[in-house]
């Protein structure tokens, strides 16, 4: 059956077709929709894990348990999961296992542009790189066969344009795969040094065996054209074809660790000069050069960013399509903003007023607190790092006599991810850093995935709610504050109380994301929120613009009458502006 699928949807369908029985992931752009789609198939037990390491470990466990499994994550998530990945490469699989790594050339929604193909080299894993949705499905079927035939976990590396582009896919039905009966084999599955040394040799032999497969893999092939040669993998193959069409000879690489040296030699016999079109690092280029061939690659094309057709056209041919010239000065940037009613607004409004503080942020919607009008974030490093970074900063400030208080800020999902470990660091080593957990009861930025504190599982079934307050108290903190971040007086007092202490404290702000799907019980917990809206009484408004400073997208100044206005459809009645207005000019009404 032919369908139009994104790469993420095609991976999900491919996993279903390949008989996968277990799937786990932590959301992260551009990988998030993989598991959301896998969860549609009832034959696959699909789960959100607290973080990527746990997701991969669960998938490894399912593989050891005898069934085919899949784990999916964004590129930086593989860093978190690297520990189990490297050693599972030694153990090998029982049921086939595939790890999807979704890289981000161009960094549309990411903090770096790392090239995860090096993980395949470094961990000695077979690797596939699909170039469209059809190949996502086809290569996944092959990947499970390769995983079981060569006894290796497989890395499938995709990129944003693969994940989030739709193309036509010919799909088929699910092929059930019988579970392998569990067998105790510590010499293979228990990596103490003695067994690990023995497995090290097995891994080497496996790479030699795979070096034969890569020469005959149906996903590595030459397309004969002219005397100019182009080598590409992934989306770069289609980007290159857009520019060069049938005029050049292509070496299309789909199985990319190990790479096919024999096929490369054959390709070089057919062409006079070679261009390597690849995003991120010169992965293919370094290999080609190591084989003793000359080529044009990163010396000709940009060293980073996406190699879209216009980029290739300009770099290789010196050509640009004519474009319309216009007055760019008229265009104002449109950065993402915290939504109307976002519970982070009241928090950042008050946080932005504090003096002599260093604010260590983290990854989520609340990272937007760095932007105007709040400017209330000084650093943001990685998932779960806010508290440990704040701890180190505080130690440095105290050691060097600087009068600065470190405040760590992260969200509920990030707390469960790895923030909980960072909080242990403060509880154990005892700096006076202030830690804030913004609990909006959902994983917001990546599109509302459930987490251990949200009350639901991936499929929507109810789940026990891990109570953040209880966890924090169990870690032994003496000073723990719970506050409604929409109550800016309470927020202000909580900051004052925490800053007055000469030891660590934890602040938990609790209010749901206004976009969260809630049942009656959860709505009841918060007094049926988001059912009111705020309106400006134009007679009372003096046009002082104080309310505008809370940065709500529903609020604006009507310049003609010099009064504030509230966009009725957007407003959900969070009340932050009501409390800010010095003239009580903002009233509430039922939506």
- Residues near another protein, by CB under 8 A: 2, 4, 29-30, 108-109, 132, 160-161, 164-168, 235, 238-239, 241-242, 306, 308-310, 313, 320-327, 330-339, 365, 368, 371-373, 445-447, 545, 548-549, 551, 553, 555-557, 569
Cβ neighbours of residue 322 under 8 Å, at least 6 residues apart? none
Closest CB to another protein among residues 217, 367: 367
How many CA atoms within 13 Å lie on the side-chain side of 360?
25
Closest CB to another protein among residues 65, 553: 553
| CB 553, min distance to another protein, A | 6
Coil/strand/helix, residue 96: coil
What spatial distance separates the first Cα and last Cα of the chain, rounded to whole Å? 46
| CB 8, min distance to another protein, A | 10
Closest CA to 68 of 36, 37, 88, 45: 45
| CB 38, min distance to another protein, A | 17
Instruction: Please state, in angstroms and rounded to a whole number, the distance separating the CA atoms of residues 326 and 322.
Output: 13
Closest CB to another protein among residues 180, 314: 314
Closest CB to another protein among residues 178, 331: 331
Closest CB to another protein among residues 424, 544: 544
| Tokens representing residue 80 in the block | 């978190």
| CB 353, min distance to another protein, A | 16
Cβ count near 315 (within 10 Å): 18
| CB 151, min distance to another protein, A | 36
| CB 465, min distance to another protein, A | 25
Contacts by 78-84, CB closer than 8 A, 24 or more apart: 78/52, 78/116, 78/119, 79/114, 80/26, 80/51, 80/52, 80/53, 80/383, 80/418, 81/52, 81/53, 81/55, 81/56, 81/57, 82/119, 82/123, 83/53, 84/53, 84/56, 84/57, 84/60
Query: Residue 141, preceding bond cis, omega within 30 degrees?
Result: no
DSSP category for residue 461: -
Closest CB to another protein among residues 241, 533: 241
Contact present, 358 and 337 (Cβ < 8 Å): no
| CB 565, min distance to another protein, A | 10
Task: Return the biggest CA–CA distance within the chain.
Answer: 82
DSSP codes, 509-576: EE---TT----HHHHHHTTS-S-EEEEE-TTT-----TGGGG--TTEEEETTTTEEEE-TTT-----H
Contact present, 82 and 35 (Cβ < 8 Å): no
Instruction: Please state, in angstroms and rounded to a whole number, the distance separating the CA atoms of residues 359 and 390.
Output: 7
* Block residue for tokens 């086939």: 96
Closest CB to another protein among residues 62, 316: 316
Closest CB to another protein among residues 214, 414: 414
563 forms beta bridges with 558
| CB 392, min distance to another protein, A | 28
Closest CB to another protein among residues 29, 486: 29
Closest CB to another protein among residues 181, 322: 322
| CB 311, min distance to another protein, A | 8
| CB 574, min distance to another protein, A | 16
Closest CB to another protein among residues 373, 524: 373
Phi and psi at residue 238, to the nearest 5°? -70, -35
| CB 203, min distance to another protein, A | 36
Instruction: Please state, in angstroms and rounded to a whole number, the distance separating the CA atoms of residues 56 and 459.
Output: 19
Closest CB to another protein among residues 116, 133: 133
| CB 517, min distance to another protein, A | 15
Closest CB to another protein among residues 252, 289: 252
* Block residue for tokens 């009241």: 346
Instruction: Please state, in angstroms and rounded to a whole number, the distance separating the CA atoms of residues 581 and 562.
Output: 15
| CB 376, min distance to another protein, A | 14
Coil/strand/helix, residue 158: strand
Contact present, 552 and 577 (Cβ < 8 Å): yes
């Amino acid at each position: 059956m032919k369908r139009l699928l994104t790469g993420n949807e095609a991976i999900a369908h491919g996993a279903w077709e390949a008989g996968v029985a277990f799937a786990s992931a932590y959301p992260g752009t551009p990988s998030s929709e993989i598991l959301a789609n896998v969860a549609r198939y009832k034959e696959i037990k699909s789960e959100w894990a607290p973080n990527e390491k746990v997701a991969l470990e669960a998938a490894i466990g399912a593989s050891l348990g005898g069934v085919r499994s899949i784990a999916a994550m964004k590129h930086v998530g593989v860093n978190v999961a690297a520990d189990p990945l490297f050693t599972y490469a030694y153990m090998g699989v029982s049921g086939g296992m595939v790890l999807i790594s979704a890289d981000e050339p161009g960094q549309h929604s990411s903090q770096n542009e790392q090239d995860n193909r090096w993980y395949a080299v470094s961990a000695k894993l077979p690797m596939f790189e699909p170039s469209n949705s059809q190949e996502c499905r086809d290569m996944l079927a092959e990947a499970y066969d390769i995983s079981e035939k060569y006894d290796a976990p497989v890395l499938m590396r995709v990129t944003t344009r693969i994940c989030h582009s739709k193309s036509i896919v010919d799909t088929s039905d699910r092929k059930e795969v019988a579970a392998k009966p569990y067998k105790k084999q510590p010499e293979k599955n228990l990596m103490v040094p003695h067994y690990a040394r023995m497995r090290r040799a097995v891994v080497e032999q496996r790479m030699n065996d795979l070096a034969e497969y890569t020469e005959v893999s149906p996903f590595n092939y030459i397309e004969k054209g002219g005397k100019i040669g182009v080598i590409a993998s992934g989306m770069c193959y289609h980007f290159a074809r857009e520019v060069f069409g049938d005029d050049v000879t292509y070496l299309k690489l789909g199985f990319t660790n190990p790479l096919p040296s024999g096929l490369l030699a054959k390709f070089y016999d057919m062409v006079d000069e070679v261009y390597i079109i690849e995003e991120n690092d010169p992965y293919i280029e370094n290999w080609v050069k190591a084989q003793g061939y000359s080529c044009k690659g990163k010396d000709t094309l940009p060293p980073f960013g996406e190699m879209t057709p216009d980029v290739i056209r300009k770099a290789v041919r010196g050509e640009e399509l004519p474009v319309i010239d216009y007055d760019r000065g008229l265009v104002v940037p449109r950065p993402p903003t915290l939504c109307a009613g976002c519970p982070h607004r009241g928090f950042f409004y008050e946080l932005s007023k504090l003096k002599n503080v260093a604010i260590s942020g983290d990854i989520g919607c609340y990272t937007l607190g760095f932007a105007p009008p709040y400017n209330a974030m000084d650093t943001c490093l990685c998932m779960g790092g806010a508290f440990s970074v704040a701890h180190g900063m505080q130690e440095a400030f105290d050691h060097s006599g600087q009068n600065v208080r470190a405040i760590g800020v992260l969200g509920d999902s990030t707390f469960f991810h790895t923030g909980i470990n960072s909080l242990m660091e403060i509880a154990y080593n005892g700096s006076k850093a202030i830690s804030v957990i913004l609990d909006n009861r959902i994983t917001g930025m990546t599109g509302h995935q459930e987490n251990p504190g949200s009350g639901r599982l991936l499929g929507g079934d109810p789940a026990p709610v891990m109570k953040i307050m209880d966890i924090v108290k169990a870690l032994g903190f003496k000073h723990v504050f719970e506050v409604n971040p929409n109550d800016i007086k309470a927020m202000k007092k909580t900051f004052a109380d925490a800053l007055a202490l000469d030891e660590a404290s934890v602040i938990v702000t609790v209010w749901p994301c206004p976009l969260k799907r809630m049942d009656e019980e959860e709505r009841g917990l918060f007094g049926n929120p988001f059912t009111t809206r705020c309106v400006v009484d134009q007679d009372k408004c003096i046009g002082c613009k104080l309310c505008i400073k809370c940065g709500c997208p529903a609020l604006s100044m009507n310049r003609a009458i010099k009064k504030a206005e509230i966009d009725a459809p957007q407003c959900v009645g969070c009340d932050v502006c009501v409390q800010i207005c010095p003239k009580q000019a903002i009233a509430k009404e039922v939506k």
